[in-house]
C-alpha cells in the first residue's frame, strides 16, 4: 500500500450555514489522501495502476460547485464519489479548509477532516 495525495486544491465556493456565506462565498482549500495499492504503477509505469490526480481534482471541483451547509457533508460527498472511482482504496481522508470564516474575529481558517473508513462505523 502507498499513499497518493492532492494537497491545497483551491476553490472559491458558496458553502455554509449562514445566508451571507451563500451570497458572498469564500476561499476553500481541499486536501485528499488515499491509501491505495499502486504496485502495478510501480512495476508497469502505467497510469491505470494508480490514482489519477486529474480525476481527484475533477471530483472535488464538481462538488465544490454545488453549495452545501456543512463541510462534513461536502467531504462525505467527495469520499463517496472517490470510492466509486477507486473502490480498492483502503483509506481516504478529505480535509476542507474555509479561509477566514465568519466567527467574529480574525481566524486564518476553519477545517474539517473526514476519514474513510474510520468515520463510517
**41 grid coordinates:** 504503477
For CA atoms 95, 76, 15, 53, give the dihedral sign: positive
Q: With beta carbons less than 8 A apart as the criterion, state whether 41 and 5 touch.
A: no
- Of 86, 90, 88, 85, nearest to 120 by C-alpha is 90
Q: How far apart are CA 108 and CA 87, in angstroms?
A: 35
Which is catalytic among the residues 22, 40, 97, 98? 98
Provide the CB-side half-sphere exposure for 41 (13 A, CA). Answer: 13
- Would you call 98 a catalytic residue per the annotation? yes
Q: Is the peptide bond before 117 cis (omega within 30 degrees of 0)?
A: yes
Give the catalytic positions in this structure.
98
Amino acid at each position: 500500500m502507498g499513499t497518493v495525495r492532492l494537497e491545497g486544491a483551491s476553490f472559491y465556493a458558496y458553502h455554509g450555514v449562514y445566508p451571507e456565506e451563500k451570497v458572498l462565498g469564500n476561499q476553500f482549500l481541499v486536501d485528499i489522501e488515499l491509501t491505495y495499492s499502486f504496485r502495478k504503477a510501480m512495476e508497469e509505469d502505467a497510469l491505470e495502476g494508480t490514482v489519477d490526480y486529474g480525476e481527484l481534482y475533477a471530483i472535488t471541483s464538481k462538488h465544490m460547485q454545488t453549495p452545501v451547509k456543512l463541510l462534513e457533508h461536502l467531504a462525505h460527498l467527495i469520499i463517496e464519489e472517490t470510492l466509486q472511482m477507486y473502490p480498492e482504496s483502503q483509506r481516504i481522508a478529505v480535509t476542507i479548509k474555509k479561509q477566514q470564516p465568519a466567527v467574529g474575529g480574525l481566524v486564518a481558517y476553519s477545517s474539517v477532516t473526514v476519514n474513510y473508513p474510520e468515520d463510517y462505523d
